[in-house]
Amino acid sequence: MKNTFGSSVSVTVFGESHGAAIGAVLDGLAPGIPVDEEFIAFQMKLRQSVGALSTARREADSVRIVSGVFNGRTTGTPITFIIENQDTRSKDYGELAYKARPGHADFSAQMKYHGFQDFRGGGHFSGRITAGIVAAGAVAISALRGRGISIGTHILSCGGIYDRSFGDINADTARLGSMEFAVLDDAKAREMQAAITAAKQDGDSVGGRLETIVTGVPAGVGEPWFDTLESILAHALFSIPAVKGVEFGAGFAAADMLGSQCNDCFRSENGSVTAPTNNNGGIIGGITTGMPILFRTAIKPTPSIFREQQTVDLNTLENTTLQIKGRHDPAIVHRARVVADSVTALVLCDQLAIRFGTDWLKAE
């Protein structure tokens, strides 16, 4: 289960960055859910590298579905997504067979796999593997939309530049879905892009924060204690390469509040229980309240930078230096946005199937 996540609806990832192909297997979805291959292609495009803000590696990321879909709908059996790797330059990674890149999983992978791991482009640890997650996530997002559940993520910060938070949730979420660089304030987008460009020109990189909101999830989803919805979401989000932090609602800021400030007081409106504030991010006691689920994800700066860095020769255990070559992202937060959406959708499909049964995901 090391490469599989989920209980009722599960996703398994496979492949290496410079191998023949990568992909995912999505299992447990109800039969009859529409599979829109144009939407899958669109989501894949949002993850692709584009222009000077991303790596020069250009993969077509054409998704081939080889099982689990017939006549445009899920069959109820495992769906297999295969994505061929076509634009690889393995020669750029020859030195990395024995020199560990700072910030990458090279050293920890060496300790676990004893040198048998595929080190080219980060191998199985590469962000390239998220392409399969996005393909599977596109089907999950479509299934959730059929049940009136929407997911939206924007770049809350990048390179120290901050976007505004969510305002009109429905309008903001609808707008974000089609944006290549998902920021709510266009002026902040230009400032962020300038910060990324400046870091790239200096041989460096920048990180950022994503903010995600989910609407339409009914109250009562999740478990107390060890399978809280927060813990399941955080588990999946921390599986995205470069994620170093996740907070829900007010998050760490709640530690500086008074109870009277932090509590979300309940009100009855039109026969429904709601709250004017959402400091708990739509989850209390590990279970959804029906309020929007809100969380933020911290993305560290891309570890592949073009400056000389200190490292160790793993063959001799002597101190040495390393200056990486190849094609790398000066920032990945804008590409990670669609991955966060996809992971969130996969978790929610799993948790909703556990709560209401697998067939609940198929809209009437």
Query: Does residue 362 lie in a domain region?
Result: no
Query: Does residue 317 lie in a domain region?
Result: yes
pLDDT surpasses 90 at 212: yes
CATH of the domain at 11: 3.60.150.10
Q: What's the pLDDT at 323? A: 87
**pLDDT tens across 253-265, in order?**
999 999 999 999 9
Question: How many structural domains are present in the chain?
Answer: 1
Q: Lowest-confidence range among 1-10, 130-139, 276-285, 341-350?
A: 1-10
Mean pLDDT of 148-167: 97
Q: What's the pLDDT at 55? A: 64
The string of DSSP codes covering 290-348 is SSPEEEEEEEPPPS--SS-EEEEETTTTEEEEE---S---S--HHHHHHHHHHHHHHHH
Query: Does residue 239 lie in a domain region?
Result: yes
Q: What's the pLDDT at 178? A: 87
Q: What's the pLDDT at 92? A: 60
Mean pLDDT of 8-35: 95
Mean pLDDT of 218-227: 96
Query: Does residue 361 lie in a domain region?
Result: no
Q: What's the pLDDT at 97? A: 75
Q: What's the pLDDT at 325? A: 76
Q: What's the pLDDT at 349? A: 98
Q: Give the separation between CA 259 and CA 254, rounded to whole angstroms.
A: 9
Paired residues of 70 in beta bridges: 73
State which residues form the domain around 202. Answer: 4-356
Average per-residue pLDDT in the chain? 92
pLDDT surpasses 80 at 234: yes
**pLDDT tens across 285-299, in order?**
999 999 999 999 999
Q: What's the pLDDT at 1? A: 52
Alpha carbon separation from 302 to 36, 158, 329 (Å, rounded): 32, 12, 7
